[in-house]
Structure 1
Amino acid sequence: MQSPKIMVMGVGNILLSDEGLGVRFLDELAKFEFPANVEILEGGTAGLELVHLIQDVDFLIIVDAFNGHAEPGALFRFQPGDLQIIPEQYEVSFHQIGIIEVLSMANLLGQAPQTLIFGIQPKCLDWGLEISPEISVLFPRLTELVRKEIDSIQREGKFTSA
């Protein structure tokens, strides 16, 4: 049996403090070894050009800043279908083209991966290269959660039911 192709993608703009938390998180994740079927990808602020990168992926785990109108550092775990139950006034992504649009386009083209999103409520979106301490302190816990998801996919072929 062939191992499923898994991608962990960090997205965001590293020039806007916590908006870049998804990309900065990958530095933490890079401290660990992963099997050959796991790819770590910096999505940055790329939009629809990401579509071709995810089309041959079986499972996609995304880490991004998420506006859930919560306390800075609040952690959200959801799948794209869950967004239909989030009220419209919630601006999910801070990017021009959100990852949901990228997934929708991949779906239209016939191949969107099973996707799990870890979103973190940012504290600061001002110009700056540093992540707020309230956000960076979450990275070890987030690493543990992402690694747990990868293990679950490897063992059971699905995301955890957490």
Structure 2
Amino acid sequence: MDSPKIMVMGVGNILLSDEGLGVRFLDELAQRSLPENVELLEGGTAGLELVHLIQEVDFLIVVDAINANSEPGALFRFQPGDIQVFPEQYEVSFHQIGIVEVLTMANVLGHAPQTLIFGVQPKNLEWGMDISPEIQALFPRLAEFVLLEIDSIRGQGKFTSALPSA
């Protein structure tokens, strides 16, 4: 069997400090040794133009800032179908077009990858290029979680069942 195509996509606006954490996180992941079937993509704040990029992929792991009105640095792991678990007052994404819309469109056009989202509650959303030290400090741990998922996909053809306890 061919290795499944896996994409890790960091999304967010790098001009708004922690809102760009998904994109900045890819730098951390790029320093790790990744299997050949894993591609890293800076999704930035791109919307529906991401659709064609994810259609060729079997598994998509998204890293993004999410607003769950939680402690800065709180880490969430969910699949798009789980989004209704967030109470209505929570804005799950800070972007105009969220990853869920992108996946829905990919599905309409024929293929949406199995998707897992790692969301991090940001600390600072002011103008600026720097990530908060507290958020930056999470990156190595988050990288371990993403690598666990990649191993699970390669071994079992699916995501792991949950976020490992710290």
Query: Shorter chain as normaliser: what TM range?
Result: over 0.9
Deviations 1:80-114 (A, max 9, x none): 00002222221010011111110111111121100
Query: How many residue pairs are counted as aligned between the two chains?
Result: 162
Letter in structure 2 aligned against 1:75? L
Q: Where does the alignment leave 5 or more consecutive residues of structure 1 unmatched? A: none
Deviations 1:35-60 (A, max 9, x none): 22110111000000000000010000
Which segment drifts farther, 84-93 or 112-121? Answer: 84-93
Moved over 6 A (4+): none
**Normalising by structure 2, what TM-score?**
0.96
C-alpha RMSD of matched pairs (Å)? 0.7
1:75 aligns with 2:75: yes
Letter in structure 2 aligned against 1:70? S
Q: Tell me, what secondary structure is at the counterpart of 1:102?
A: helix
Instruction: Report the Cα distance in structure 2 between the residues aligned to 1:88 and 1:71, rounded to whole angstroms.
Output: 18
Instruction: Report the Cα distance in structure 2 between the residues aligned to 1:94 and 1:50, rounded to whole angstroms.
Output: 16
**1:18 positional shift:** 0.1
Instruction: Report the Cα distance in structure 1 between the residues aligned to 2:50 and 2:120, rounded to whole angstroms.
Output: 21
Letter in structure 1 aligned against 2:141? R
**1:156 positional shift:** 0.4
Q: Tell me, what secondary structure is at the counterpart of 1:29?
A: helix
1:129 aligns with 2:129: yes
Which segment drifts farther, 51-60 or 87-96? Answer: 87-96
Aligned residues: percent identity?
79
Query: Residue 52 of structure 2 corresponds to which residue in structure 1?
Result: 52
1:119 aligns with 2:119: yes
**1:134 positional shift:** 1.0
1:10 aligns with 2:6: no
1:84 aligns with 2:84: yes
Query: Residue 141 of structure 2 corresponds to which residue in structure 1?
Result: 141
Deviations 1:106-145 (A, max 9, x none): 1111211000000000000000000001100000000000
Instruction: Report the Cα distance in structure 2 between the residues aligned to 1:85 and 1:135, rounded to whole angstroms.
Output: 24
Instruction: Report the Cα distance in structure 2 between the residues aligned to 1:22 and 1:30, rounded to whole angstroms.
Output: 13
Instruction: Report the Cα distance in structure 1 between the residues aligned to 2:37 and 2:140, rounded to whole angstroms.
Output: 22
Instruction: Report the Cα distance in structure 1 between the residues aligned to 2:86 and 2:15, rounded to whole angstroms.
Output: 28
**Normalising by structure 1, what TM-score?**
0.98
